[in-house]
Amino acid sequence: MNNKSYRFKVGVFECIVVSDGTFAYPHPAQIFFANAPQERLEQVLREHSLDPEQWEEYVSPYPSLVIDTGQHRVLVDTGAGGMAPTTGKLIPNLQAEGIAPEDIDTVILTHGHPDHIGGNLDSEGKPAFPNARYVMWKEGWEFWTSEPDLAQMKVDEQIRQLLLTFARNNLPPIQGQLDLVDQETEIVPGIRTIPAAGHTPGHMAVAISSGDEQLLLIADAALHPIHLEQPDWYSVFDLAPEQVLVSKRRLVERATAEKALVQAFHFPFPGLGHIIPKGEAWQWQPIETAG
Ligand SMILES: [Zn+2]
């Protein structure tokens, strides 16, 4: 497997996880597990063969998902665009799979963070997917287009400014092609948006269903597999931590009840796997990828 794309099927739907690149998060233990008790955190990291003193960065993939239903070509999230030299590869990686930006008729944006909306526009500032309607959760759109106060986030001011700049630059120009949803909605036959707020206001998951197969895309409801083993741990990026924990539990219960395949944006590429109940919590079981 290369780390640029991964093809699979959900029923008769042809799906491709397509990479926009990667980004190295410094101090991952503090960033991803903001409320973890120190001693327990160190123990859990060691169980994952991570040295708490030496774990200096987490290199996260930034994968978008293309779903070709036969009638529609849907893209979920647009990557980080020019956020870093290691990002902004979505369009060439789509083209390598034979998909032109014009072929996409629906773009679903799970939430307004830079790594999910950064590729909304082309180099001229026009929508990068000219024939698509863009879909976003109403509350998320309203939040990110209203110069939100991010003071409660325990991150550097530089990161707060990055979030605000990306929202300011990448959201208003798509307004002419935008549909907002405020409840579970079938966007095209077989693809539904599901409310999963907490990580940000209006953060959403996407349920994909064809025949008797299901894929549940949980976006950023969990950022690392350890968030499944430790259901009470959350990250510094989670704007409403208590709500994240509720949304995560609801999504996981849905996935385990339906034995759905799951896609998690920040998990190791391609982020596909199953969630297995384990004790009081769960465990991530990535799919086997050849090569
Ligand atoms: Zn993200």
- CA torsion sign for 26, 235, 159, 130 is positive
Q: Rounded to the nearest whole angstrom, what is the distance from the C-alpha of residue 31 to the centroid of ligand 1? A: 13
Q: Rounded to the nearest whole angstrom, what is the distance from the C-alpha of residue 237 to the centroid of ligand 1? A: 9
Q: Rounded to the nearest whole angstrom, what is the distance from the C-alpha of residue 219 to the centroid of ligand 1? A: 7
Q: Rounded to the nearest whole angstrom, what is the distance from the C-alpha of residue 283 to the centroid of ligand 1? A: 20
Q: Exposed (0-12), middle (13-18) or buried (19+): which is 15, by Cβ within 10 Å?
A: buried
Q: Rounded to the nearest whole angstrom, what is the distance from the C-alpha of residue 114 to the centroid of ligand 1? A: 8
**For 20-37, what is each residue's pLDDT tens digit?**
999 999 999 999 999 999
Question: In angstroms, rounded to a whole number, what is the distance separating the alpha carbons of residues 173 and 217?
Answer: 26
Q: Rounded to the nearest whole angstrom, what is the distance from the C-alpha of residue 220 to the centroid of ligand 1? A: 6
Reply yes or no on whether the pLDDT at 185 is more than 70: yes
pLDDT, mean of residues 274-279? 95
Give residue 291's pLDDT band: very low, low, confident or very high (50, 70, 90): low
**For 193-219, what is each residue's pLDDT tens digit?**
999 999 999 999 999 999 999 999 999
Q: Rounded to the nearest whole angstrom, what is the distance from the C-alpha of residue 199 to the centroid of ligand 1? A: 9
Reply yes or no on whether the pLDDT at 40 is more than 70: yes
Q: Rounded to the nearest whole angstrom, what is the distance from the C-alpha of residue 132 to the centroid of ligand 1? A: 22
Q: Rounded to the nearest whole angstrom, what is the distance from the C-alpha of residue 116 to the centroid of ligand 1? A: 6
Residues sharing a CB contact under 8 Å with residue 87, sequence separation 6 or more, in sequence order: 20, 21, 22, 23, 62, 79, 80, 81, 115, 118
Q: Rounded to the nearest whole angstrom, what is the distance from the C-alpha of residue 212 to the centroid of ligand 1? A: 29
Q: Rounded to the nearest whole angstrom, what is the distance from the C-alpha of residue 164 to the centroid of ligand 1? A: 15
Reply yes or no on whether the pLDDT at 172 is more than 90: yes
Give residue 290's pLDDT band: very low, low, confident or very high (50, 70, 90): confident
189 φ/ψ angles, rounded to the nearest 5 degrees: -55, 120
Query: What's the whole-model pTM score?
Result: 0.97
Give residue 39's pLDDT band: very low, low, confident or very high (50, 70, 90): very high
Q: How confident is the model at residue 3, as a pLDDT? A: 87
Question: In angstroms, rounded to a whole number, what is the distance separating the alpha carbons of residues 75 and 255?
Answer: 21
Q: Rounded to the nearest whole angstrom, what is the distance from the C-alpha of residue 200 to the centroid of ligand 1? A: 10
Q: How confident is the model at residue 1, as a pLDDT? A: 57
Reply yes or no on whether the pLDDT at 286 is more than 60: yes
**What's the chain's average pLDDT?**
96
**For 205-259, what is each residue's pLDDT tens digit?**
999 999 999 999 999 999 999 999 999 999 999 999 999 999 999 999 999 999 9
Q: Rounded to the nearest whole angstrom, what is the distance from the C-alpha of residue 60 to the centroid of ligand 1? A: 9
pLDDT, mean of residues 67-80? 98
